[in-house]
Structure 1
Amino acid sequence: MQDLPRHRGKRNQLANEVAQKGITDSTVLEAIRTVPRHLFLDSSFEDHAYQDKAFPIGAEQTISQPYTVAFQTELLDIKPGDKILEIGTGSGYQTAILLYLKAKVYTIERQSELFKKTRLFFKKMGYRPKKMVFGDGYKGLPEDAQFDGIIVTAGAPEVPKALLSQLKIGGRLVIPIGTNTQIMTIYVRASEKEFKKQELGSFRFVPLLGNKN
Protein backbone atom coordinates (compact mmCIF):
# COMPACT_ATOMS: atom_id res chain seq x y z
CA MET A 1 0.00 0.00 0.00
CA GLN A 2 1.02 3.59 -0.61
CA ASP A 3 0.42 6.81 1.27
CA LEU A 4 -1.59 8.96 -1.14
CA PRO A 5 -3.09 12.48 -1.01
CA ARG A 6 -6.52 10.98 -0.25
CA HIS A 7 -5.05 9.25 2.81
CA ARG A 8 -3.53 12.53 3.97
CA GLY A 9 -6.89 14.23 3.53
CA LYS A 10 -8.56 11.58 5.66
CA ARG A 11 -5.89 12.01 8.34
CA ASN A 12 -6.63 15.74 8.47
CA GLN A 13 -10.31 14.93 9.00
CA LEU A 14 -9.41 12.41 11.70
CA ALA A 15 -7.18 14.90 13.52
CA ASN A 16 -10.02 17.44 13.42
CA GLU A 17 -12.38 14.81 14.82
CA VAL A 18 -10.15 13.92 17.79
CA ALA A 19 -9.59 17.64 18.42
CA GLN A 20 -13.36 18.11 18.61
CA LYS A 21 -13.43 15.32 21.21
CA GLY A 22 -11.05 17.27 23.43
CA ILE A 23 -7.45 16.65 22.33
CA THR A 24 -5.63 19.98 22.49
CA ASP A 25 -1.90 19.13 22.26
CA SER A 26 -0.82 20.45 18.84
CA THR A 27 2.10 18.01 18.53
CA VAL A 28 -0.18 15.03 19.21
CA LEU A 29 -2.65 16.28 16.61
CA GLU A 30 0.21 16.75 14.15
CA ALA A 31 1.27 13.15 14.78
CA ILE A 32 -2.28 11.95 14.00
CA ARG A 33 -2.18 14.03 10.79
CA THR A 34 1.20 12.57 9.80
CA VAL A 35 1.45 8.86 10.72
CA PRO A 36 -0.18 6.71 7.98
CA ARG A 37 -2.53 4.54 10.07
CA HIS A 38 -3.75 2.56 7.05
CA LEU A 39 -0.28 1.02 6.66
CA PHE A 40 -0.55 -0.53 10.15
CA LEU A 41 -3.75 -2.38 9.22
CA ASP A 42 -4.57 -5.30 6.96
CA SER A 43 -5.29 -4.00 3.44
CA SER A 44 -8.93 -5.11 3.79
CA PHE A 45 -9.38 -2.35 6.40
CA GLU A 46 -7.76 0.38 4.28
CA ASP A 47 -11.02 2.18 3.51
CA HIS A 48 -11.88 2.29 7.22
CA ALA A 49 -8.43 3.16 8.62
CA TYR A 50 -9.27 6.80 9.30
CA GLN A 51 -12.50 6.18 11.15
CA ASP A 52 -12.16 6.82 14.87
CA LYS A 53 -12.52 3.13 15.69
CA ALA A 54 -10.45 0.18 16.90
CA PHE A 55 -9.86 -2.69 14.46
CA PRO A 56 -8.57 -6.28 14.81
CA ILE A 57 -4.90 -6.87 13.95
CA GLY A 58 -4.67 -10.62 14.60
CA ALA A 59 -3.77 -12.70 17.68
CA GLU A 60 -7.03 -11.48 19.29
CA GLN A 61 -5.54 -7.97 19.56
CA THR A 62 -6.67 -4.61 18.21
CA ILE A 63 -5.24 -1.34 16.97
CA SER A 64 -6.60 1.24 19.41
CA GLN A 65 -9.13 3.90 18.46
CA PRO A 66 -7.21 7.02 17.29
CA TYR A 67 -8.86 9.16 19.98
CA THR A 68 -7.61 6.71 22.64
CA VAL A 69 -4.09 6.80 21.17
CA ALA A 70 -4.16 10.60 21.17
CA PHE A 71 -5.62 10.75 24.69
CA GLN A 72 -3.01 8.44 26.22
CA THR A 73 -0.20 10.20 24.34
CA GLU A 74 -1.38 13.63 25.49
CA LEU A 75 -1.43 12.40 29.11
CA LEU A 76 2.24 11.36 28.83
CA ASP A 77 3.19 15.02 28.15
CA ILE A 78 6.19 13.96 26.04
CA LYS A 79 9.17 16.21 25.46
CA PRO A 80 11.77 15.46 22.73
CA GLY A 81 14.29 12.93 24.03
CA ASP A 82 12.01 11.55 26.76
CA LYS A 83 12.56 7.88 27.49
CA ILE A 84 9.21 6.12 27.09
CA LEU A 85 8.31 2.49 27.81
CA GLU A 86 5.36 1.12 25.82
CA ILE A 87 3.63 -2.02 27.10
CA GLY A 88 1.91 -3.70 24.14
CA THR A 89 3.54 -2.89 20.79
CA GLY A 90 0.62 -4.38 18.85
CA SER A 91 0.49 -3.08 15.28
CA GLY A 92 3.12 -0.44 16.06
CA TYR A 93 0.84 2.55 15.43
CA GLN A 94 1.16 3.93 18.96
CA THR A 95 4.93 3.35 18.76
CA ALA A 96 5.07 5.41 15.56
CA ILE A 97 3.12 8.24 17.21
CA LEU A 98 5.61 8.27 20.10
CA LEU A 99 8.54 8.25 17.68
CA TYR A 100 7.02 11.17 15.76
CA LEU A 101 7.10 13.11 19.04
CA LYS A 102 10.87 12.38 19.20
CA ALA A 103 10.62 10.06 22.20
CA LYS A 104 13.18 7.32 22.79
CA VAL A 105 10.82 4.35 22.71
CA TYR A 106 11.29 1.00 24.43
CA THR A 107 8.44 -1.35 23.56
CA ILE A 108 7.33 -4.81 24.74
CA GLU A 109 4.97 -7.23 22.95
CA ARG A 110 3.65 -10.46 24.51
CA GLN A 111 2.19 -12.08 21.35
CA SER A 112 4.91 -13.81 19.33
CA GLU A 113 2.97 -13.54 16.04
CA LEU A 114 2.50 -9.79 16.42
CA PHE A 115 6.05 -9.24 17.68
CA LYS A 116 7.57 -10.84 14.57
CA LYS A 117 5.15 -9.16 12.15
CA THR A 118 5.58 -5.66 13.64
CA ARG A 119 9.35 -5.93 13.95
CA LEU A 120 9.56 -6.69 10.20
CA PHE A 121 7.17 -3.83 9.45
CA PHE A 122 9.29 -1.38 11.47
CA LYS A 123 12.40 -2.38 9.52
CA LYS A 124 10.58 -2.01 6.20
CA MET A 125 9.16 1.41 7.13
CA GLY A 126 12.25 2.80 8.88
CA TYR A 127 10.69 3.10 12.35
CA ARG A 128 13.45 2.72 14.91
CA PRO A 129 12.48 2.25 18.56
CA LYS A 130 15.47 2.14 20.90
CA LYS A 131 14.49 -1.40 21.89
CA MET A 132 11.73 -3.85 20.89
CA VAL A 133 11.33 -6.85 23.18
CA PHE A 134 9.27 -10.03 23.14
CA GLY A 135 8.31 -10.40 26.78
CA ASP A 136 6.02 -9.89 29.74
CA GLY A 137 4.66 -6.36 30.03
CA TYR A 138 3.86 -6.84 33.72
CA LYS A 139 7.61 -6.92 34.40
CA GLY A 140 8.53 -3.90 32.28
CA LEU A 141 12.21 -3.44 31.44
CA PRO A 142 14.07 -3.04 34.76
CA GLU A 143 17.44 -3.15 32.99
CA ASP A 144 16.54 0.02 31.04
CA ALA A 145 14.77 1.95 33.82
CA GLN A 146 14.18 4.71 34.83
CA PHE A 147 11.59 6.04 32.34
CA ASP A 148 10.12 9.51 31.86
CA GLY A 149 6.85 7.88 30.88
CA ILE A 150 5.24 4.44 30.64
CA ILE A 151 2.17 3.79 28.49
CA VAL A 152 0.13 0.58 28.78
CA THR A 153 -2.06 -0.18 25.76
CA ALA A 154 -4.05 -3.06 27.30
CA GLY A 155 -6.35 -3.35 30.29
CA ALA A 156 -4.72 -4.44 33.57
CA PRO A 157 -6.80 -5.62 36.54
CA GLU A 158 -4.47 -3.64 38.82
CA VAL A 159 -1.39 -1.49 38.46
CA PRO A 160 1.79 -3.60 38.14
CA LYS A 161 4.17 -2.54 40.93
CA ALA A 162 7.17 -3.26 38.68
CA LEU A 163 6.05 -0.49 36.32
CA LEU A 164 5.64 2.05 39.11
CA SER A 165 9.17 1.25 40.31
CA GLN A 166 10.58 1.91 36.82
CA LEU A 167 9.37 5.53 36.67
CA LYS A 168 11.71 8.45 37.24
CA ILE A 169 10.76 10.97 39.91
CA GLY A 170 8.26 13.15 38.06
CA GLY A 171 7.59 10.35 35.54
CA ARG A 172 4.12 9.35 34.42
CA LEU A 173 2.45 5.96 34.05
CA VAL A 174 -0.68 6.00 31.86
CA ILE A 175 -2.62 2.76 32.26
CA PRO A 176 -6.22 1.54 31.77
CA ILE A 177 -7.23 -0.38 34.93
CA GLY A 178 -10.13 -2.81 35.16
CA THR A 179 -11.46 -6.05 33.71
CA ASN A 180 -14.54 -5.66 31.48
CA THR A 181 -14.21 -1.89 31.16
CA GLN A 182 -11.21 0.11 32.28
CA ILE A 183 -10.65 3.44 33.96
CA MET A 184 -7.85 5.42 32.33
CA THR A 185 -5.50 6.12 35.21
CA ILE A 186 -2.38 8.24 35.49
CA TYR A 187 0.23 7.82 38.20
CA VAL A 188 2.85 10.54 38.66
CA ARG A 189 5.88 9.61 40.76
CA ALA A 190 6.19 12.39 43.32
CA SER A 191 9.07 10.82 45.29
CA GLU A 192 10.79 7.49 45.85
CA LYS A 193 7.71 6.08 47.61
CA GLU A 194 4.88 8.51 46.79
CA PHE A 195 2.66 8.44 43.69
CA LYS A 196 -0.15 10.81 42.76
CA LYS A 197 -3.08 9.07 41.09
CA GLN A 198 -5.76 10.52 38.81
CA GLU A 199 -8.66 8.71 37.11
CA LEU A 200 -9.88 9.99 33.74
CA GLY A 201 -12.92 8.15 32.39
CA SER A 202 -13.94 4.74 31.03
CA PHE A 203 -12.43 2.90 28.05
CA ARG A 204 -12.44 -0.61 26.55
CA PHE A 205 -9.13 -2.42 25.97
CA VAL A 206 -8.07 -6.00 25.32
CA PRO A 207 -6.53 -7.61 28.45
CA LEU A 208 -2.87 -7.18 29.35
CA LEU A 209 -1.20 -10.58 28.95
CA GLY A 210 1.70 -12.02 30.84
CA ASN A 211 2.82 -14.29 33.65
CA LYS A 212 2.26 -11.94 36.54
CA ASN A 213 4.40 -14.12 38.76
Structure 2
Amino acid sequence: MKDISYAGNKSLSKGEKTAQALLDVAEQLFAERGFEGATLREVAAALGIQGPAIYKHFASKEALYTAVLERALSPMEQVLQRLMAKQADLQELAELPALMTELLAQHPHMPALFQQALNATDDSAAHQLMNDWLDRLFDGGLQALAGQKKILDQAEKRRVAMRLIAMFNLCSGYFLSQRVLSRLELGAVLDEQNLDEQKKMLAKIMRLFLLE
Protein backbone atom coordinates (compact mmCIF):
# COMPACT_ATOMS: atom_id res chain seq x y z
CA MET A 1 0.00 0.00 0.00
CA LYS A 2 1.30 3.42 -0.94
CA ASP A 3 2.14 5.93 1.77
CA ILE A 4 -0.39 8.65 1.02
CA SER A 5 0.31 10.77 4.08
CA TYR A 6 1.59 14.26 3.36
CA ALA A 7 3.31 14.15 6.73
CA GLY A 8 5.99 11.98 5.16
CA ASN A 9 6.81 14.49 2.45
CA LYS A 10 10.31 15.77 3.20
CA SER A 11 9.80 18.87 1.03
CA LEU A 12 7.35 20.26 3.58
CA SER A 13 8.32 22.29 6.62
CA LYS A 14 7.70 20.90 10.10
CA GLY A 15 4.61 23.09 10.47
CA GLU A 16 3.26 22.00 7.09
CA LYS A 17 3.82 18.35 7.94
CA THR A 18 1.91 18.81 11.19
CA ALA A 19 -0.96 20.54 9.37
CA GLN A 20 -1.19 17.72 6.82
CA ALA A 21 -1.06 15.10 9.57
CA LEU A 22 -3.91 16.90 11.31
CA LEU A 23 -5.89 16.75 8.06
CA ASP A 24 -5.21 13.01 7.74
CA VAL A 25 -6.49 12.32 11.27
CA ALA A 26 -9.42 14.73 10.98
CA GLU A 27 -10.54 13.18 7.69
CA GLN A 28 -10.79 9.78 9.35
CA LEU A 29 -12.49 11.04 12.53
CA PHE A 30 -15.03 13.15 10.63
CA ALA A 31 -15.80 10.12 8.47
CA GLU A 32 -16.29 7.87 11.50
CA ARG A 33 -18.16 10.25 13.82
CA GLY A 34 -19.40 13.13 11.72
CA PHE A 35 -18.59 16.80 12.16
CA GLU A 36 -20.51 17.11 15.43
CA GLY A 37 -19.20 13.84 16.89
CA ALA A 38 -15.49 14.43 16.30
CA THR A 39 -13.64 16.83 18.58
CA LEU A 40 -10.47 18.83 18.14
CA ARG A 41 -9.17 17.27 21.35
CA GLU A 42 -9.45 13.81 19.77
CA VAL A 43 -7.69 15.00 16.61
CA ALA A 44 -4.85 16.43 18.70
CA ALA A 45 -4.62 13.34 20.92
CA ALA A 46 -4.26 11.08 17.88
CA LEU A 47 -1.08 12.99 16.99
CA GLY A 48 0.17 13.25 20.56
CA ILE A 49 -0.15 17.03 20.75
CA GLN A 50 -2.12 19.34 23.01
CA GLY A 51 -5.51 20.56 21.79
CA PRO A 52 -4.60 24.28 21.67
CA ALA A 53 -1.73 23.47 19.28
CA ILE A 54 -4.29 22.86 16.52
CA TYR A 55 -5.16 26.56 16.50
CA LYS A 56 -1.69 27.34 15.17
CA HIS A 57 -2.84 25.66 11.95
CA PHE A 58 -6.65 25.92 11.87
CA ALA A 59 -8.76 28.65 13.43
CA SER A 60 -11.68 26.37 14.30
CA LYS A 61 -13.16 22.92 13.81
CA GLU A 62 -15.13 24.28 10.85
CA ALA A 63 -11.90 25.60 9.30
CA LEU A 64 -10.33 22.16 9.75
CA TYR A 65 -13.35 20.49 8.14
CA THR A 66 -13.24 22.97 5.26
CA ALA A 67 -9.55 22.21 4.70
CA VAL A 68 -10.27 18.44 4.71
CA LEU A 69 -12.85 18.91 1.96
CA GLU A 70 -10.69 21.31 -0.04
CA ARG A 71 -7.68 19.01 -0.01
CA ALA A 72 -9.61 15.97 -1.20
CA LEU A 73 -12.19 17.47 -3.54
CA SER A 74 -10.33 20.28 -5.31
CA PRO A 75 -8.34 17.79 -7.44
CA MET A 76 -11.60 16.14 -8.53
CA GLU A 77 -13.09 19.46 -9.53
CA GLN A 78 -9.92 20.32 -11.47
CA VAL A 79 -10.15 17.04 -13.43
CA LEU A 80 -13.74 17.83 -14.41
CA GLN A 81 -12.85 21.39 -15.37
CA ARG A 82 -10.06 20.16 -17.65
CA LEU A 83 -12.40 17.71 -19.34
CA MET A 84 -15.01 20.43 -19.86
CA ALA A 85 -12.46 22.93 -21.18
CA LYS A 86 -11.13 20.57 -23.85
CA GLN A 87 -14.45 18.87 -24.66
CA ALA A 88 -13.01 15.45 -23.87
CA ASP A 89 -13.42 12.59 -26.32
CA LEU A 90 -15.00 9.22 -25.49
CA GLN A 91 -11.69 7.64 -24.47
CA GLU A 92 -10.92 10.40 -21.99
CA LEU A 93 -14.42 10.26 -20.53
CA ALA A 94 -14.19 6.48 -20.23
CA GLU A 95 -11.11 6.95 -18.05
CA LEU A 96 -12.85 9.45 -15.75
CA PRO A 97 -14.01 6.89 -13.13
CA ALA A 98 -10.48 5.48 -12.92
CA LEU A 99 -9.09 8.98 -12.35
CA MET A 100 -11.66 9.63 -9.63
CA THR A 101 -10.83 6.28 -8.04
CA GLU A 102 -7.13 7.19 -7.96
CA LEU A 103 -7.95 10.49 -6.28
CA LEU A 104 -10.25 8.83 -3.74
CA ALA A 105 -7.54 6.29 -2.98
CA GLN A 106 -5.49 9.18 -1.60
CA HIS A 107 -8.39 10.08 0.72
CA PRO A 108 -10.32 6.82 1.21
CA HIS A 109 -12.44 8.15 4.08
CA MET A 110 -14.16 10.74 1.88
CA PRO A 111 -16.94 8.41 0.62
CA ALA A 112 -18.13 8.01 4.23
CA LEU A 113 -18.27 11.80 4.47
CA PHE A 114 -20.23 11.89 1.19
CA GLN A 115 -22.80 9.48 2.61
CA GLN A 116 -23.19 11.51 5.79
CA ALA A 117 -23.89 14.66 3.80
CA LEU A 118 -26.32 12.99 1.40
CA ASN A 119 -28.27 11.42 4.26
CA ALA A 120 -28.14 14.38 6.66
CA THR A 121 -31.38 16.03 7.68
CA ASP A 122 -29.90 18.96 9.59
CA ASP A 123 -28.74 22.28 8.16
CA SER A 124 -25.41 22.54 9.97
CA ALA A 125 -22.62 24.57 8.43
CA ALA A 126 -20.53 21.43 7.95
CA HIS A 127 -23.20 19.59 6.00
CA GLN A 128 -23.82 22.68 3.90
CA LEU A 129 -20.12 22.84 3.05
CA MET A 130 -20.14 19.23 1.88
CA ASN A 131 -23.39 19.68 -0.03
CA ASP A 132 -21.94 22.71 -1.82
CA TRP A 133 -18.95 20.60 -2.89
CA LEU A 134 -21.15 17.74 -4.06
CA ASP A 135 -23.27 20.17 -6.07
CA ARG A 136 -20.15 21.50 -7.78
CA LEU A 137 -18.86 18.01 -8.54
CA PHE A 138 -22.20 16.78 -9.88
CA ASP A 139 -22.65 19.92 -11.99
CA GLY A 140 -19.14 19.48 -13.38
CA GLY A 141 -19.78 15.82 -14.06
CA LEU A 142 -23.01 16.58 -15.91
CA GLN A 143 -21.28 19.14 -18.10
CA ALA A 144 -18.34 16.84 -18.81
CA LEU A 145 -20.60 13.95 -19.80
CA ALA A 146 -22.89 16.20 -21.84
CA GLY A 147 -19.93 17.12 -24.07
CA GLN A 148 -20.66 19.69 -26.74
CA LYS A 149 -24.37 19.79 -25.89
CA LYS A 150 -24.56 22.78 -23.59
CA ILE A 151 -28.35 22.57 -23.34
CA LEU A 152 -29.97 19.20 -22.70
CA ASP A 153 -33.64 18.39 -23.06
CA GLN A 154 -35.30 16.67 -20.12
CA ALA A 155 -34.82 13.14 -21.48
CA GLU A 156 -31.12 13.71 -22.20
CA LYS A 157 -30.58 15.35 -18.82
CA ARG A 158 -32.17 12.36 -17.08
CA ARG A 159 -30.05 9.91 -19.08
CA VAL A 160 -26.79 11.74 -18.33
CA ALA A 161 -27.71 12.30 -14.68
CA MET A 162 -28.50 8.62 -14.09
CA ARG A 163 -25.15 7.61 -15.54
CA LEU A 164 -23.38 10.17 -13.41
CA ILE A 165 -25.11 8.92 -10.27
CA ALA A 166 -24.21 5.33 -11.13
CA MET A 167 -20.57 6.33 -11.71
CA PHE A 168 -20.47 8.24 -8.42
CA ASN A 169 -21.93 5.29 -6.50
CA LEU A 170 -19.53 2.81 -8.11
CA CYS A 171 -16.47 4.97 -7.42
CA SER A 172 -17.34 5.94 -3.86
CA GLY A 173 -19.09 2.71 -2.88
CA TYR A 174 -15.94 0.70 -3.53
CA PHE A 175 -14.17 2.46 -0.65
CA LEU A 176 -17.01 1.51 1.71
CA SER A 177 -16.56 -2.21 0.94
CA GLN A 178 -13.65 -3.10 3.19
CA ARG A 179 -15.77 -5.35 5.38
CA VAL A 180 -16.89 -7.35 2.34
CA LEU A 181 -13.34 -7.69 1.02
CA SER A 182 -12.13 -8.81 4.43
CA ARG A 183 -14.92 -11.38 4.75
CA LEU A 184 -13.99 -12.79 1.35
CA GLU A 185 -10.28 -12.68 2.26
CA LEU A 186 -9.49 -10.44 -0.71
CA GLY A 187 -7.29 -7.91 1.05
CA ALA A 188 -7.82 -4.17 1.46
CA VAL A 189 -9.54 -1.56 -0.69
CA LEU A 190 -6.17 0.16 -1.12
CA ASP A 191 -4.31 -2.96 -2.27
CA GLU A 192 -2.85 -2.25 -5.70
CA GLN A 193 -4.39 -5.34 -7.32
CA ASN A 194 -7.88 -4.53 -6.01
CA LEU A 195 -7.62 -0.91 -7.14
CA ASP A 196 -6.43 -1.93 -10.61
CA GLU A 197 -9.30 -4.38 -11.02
CA GLN A 198 -11.79 -1.78 -9.83
CA LYS A 199 -10.50 0.81 -12.29
CA LYS A 200 -10.59 -1.62 -15.22
CA MET A 201 -14.16 -2.61 -14.38
CA LEU A 202 -15.23 1.03 -14.12
CA ALA A 203 -13.67 1.83 -17.51
CA LYS A 204 -15.65 -1.01 -19.13
CA ILE A 205 -18.90 0.15 -17.53
CA MET A 206 -18.23 3.75 -18.54
CA ARG A 207 -17.67 2.75 -22.17
CA LEU A 208 -21.07 1.04 -22.17
CA PHE A 209 -22.67 4.19 -20.79
CA LEU A 210 -21.04 6.37 -23.43
CA LEU A 211 -21.90 4.12 -26.37
CA GLU A 212 -25.61 3.86 -25.56
TM-score normalised to the size of structure 1?
0.29
Higher helix share: 2
Higher strand share: 1
- The structure that has the greater radius of gyration is 2
Q: Which has the higher contact order (CA 8 A, sep 6+)?
A: 2
TM-score normalised to the size of structure 2?
0.29
